[in-house]
Amino acid sequence: MKQTPLHALHLELGARMVPFAGYEMPVQYPAGIMREHLHTRESAGLFDVSHMGQVLVRGAGATGALERMVPADLVALAPGRQTYSLFTNAEGGVLDDLIITRWSDDTFFVVVNAGCKEQDLAHLRAGLPGIAVDTLAGQALLALQGPRAAAVMTRFAPALASLVFMSGTHCEIGGVACFVTRSGYTGEDGFEISVPADAAEALARRLLACPEVMPIGLGARDSLRLEAGLCLYGHDLDPQVTPVEAGLQWAIAPARRAGGARAGGYPGAARIAAQMQSGPARRRIGLLGDGKAPVREGSVLTDLAGRAVGEVCSGGFGPTVGGPVMMAYVESACAAPGTQLLALVRDKPRPVTVTKMPFVPQRYHRG
């Protein structure tokens, strides 16, 4: 398995390491997943996300060429701004979800999921002939998340106080050139820091030395994103799921929708436009369960008469919510908040209720 530049530090901190997307990654530290989760909601948590793919797309014509691969409005994306987007296939299914940041006119910084980065790199190169597509293998990626993250980061780089959600800037932290964005995967305010791999451990130690900060593993990262209603590729998104089914139609920019200035033009646009017009047969929804026992991915959902209507795609215990939280795909007729369903857990039905997402309020810093 591959290792991130922080591997030795994880071991020093007592992390329990597990395989994840081809890497040996920390699932939790001695404090445990519950405490790590709650600490991130209350203060600031440091995550190693160096397994993610960091890619630079640049060259004359990159804006138009990259825009033809995604449903985003890259023409209108200002330098220093980010957008969430998707790679789709010819049927409108999701190949990966990603974040695109415009560095300059025809230079884009793209962050893709760890498990998809090799296929995404090949996908980009095939779709962008004549455009430079370079993986930033020499960069680590750290995330500092939580309500105290800004107070910590601005001690090291005061200029970061002016960043708002989904924006980024080049800056120096401790004399090291970094690219920092105000973004993350927890529903909290926070930052992601692209830093040279050989400087990553020193930066992590500086952040961990702050009283507000503790290290957070993959276990709490998953429960935090689930409470925030955020999709995890390979669970809530895959090539058979369209953005409309996933409730991500907001990621289809107005300029790329039917009647927009540059409508369609990306893979699967026709099917996605049709679903936006008439509605999909199934939808991703949030569910709250009774009691404390979590309902896991793969659990079948039925209506109260026992007819199968869907399946859980992500599920677990929400420490902030104080009970089981789930995301699932169900027939659209069963997707309205307040709908009562049953989840089959070891063949026994347990009551669950459709609810709006996110399960906890998002606290992004929008200025």
For residue range 96-133, list pLDDT tens digits in order.
Answer: 999 999 999 999 999 999 999 999 999 999 999 999 99
Distance (Å, whole) CA 215 – CA 304? 43
Q: How many Cβ atoms are within 10 Å of 271's Cβ, its own excluded?
A: 18
Q: Is the N-terminal amide bond of 19 cis, ω within 30° of 0?
A: no
Contacts of 215 (CB under 8 A, 6+ apart): 10, 13, 15, 26, 29, 36, 45, 46, 208
For residue range 241-286, list pLDDT tens digits in order.
Answer: 999 999 999 999 999 999 999 999 999 999 999 999 999 999 999 9
Residue 154: pLDDT over 90: yes
Q: How many Cβ atoms are within 10 Å of 354's Cβ, its own excluded?
A: 20
Provide the pLDDT confidence category of residue 359 given band limits of 50, 70 and 90. Answer: very high
Provide the pLDDT confidence category of residue 297 given band limits of 50, 70 and 90. Answer: very high
Residue 291: pLDDT over 90: no
Query: How large is the average pLDDT for residues 6-24?
Result: 98
DSSP 227-275: HTT---BTTTB-TT--TTTTT-GGGS-GGGSTTSTT---STTHHHHHHH
Contact by Cβ (8 Å): 291, 111: no
For residue range 31-59, list pLDDT tens digits in order.
Answer: 999 999 999 999 999 999 999 999 999 99
- Percent share of the chain, pLDDT over 90: 98
- H or E segment and range at residue 223: helix 218-227
- Residue 291's Cβ-count burial label (10 Å; 0-12, 13-18, 19+) is exposed
Pairing of strands 168-173, 139-145: unpaired
Contact by Cβ (8 Å): 363, 224: no
> Out of 12-16, 61-65, 226-230, 344-348, which region has the weakest mean confidence (pLDDT)?
344-348
Residue 322: pLDDT over 90: yes
Using alpha carbons, list the distances in angstroms from residue 3 to 143, 184, 280, 301. 17, 22, 41, 38
- What is the residue-averaged pLDDT of the chain? 98
For residue range 171-216, list pLDDT tens digits in order.
Answer: 999 999 999 999 999 999 999 999 999 999 999 999 999 999 999 9
Domains of the chain: residue spans and CATH: 7-49+137-227 (3.30.1360.120), 281-357 (2.40.30.110)
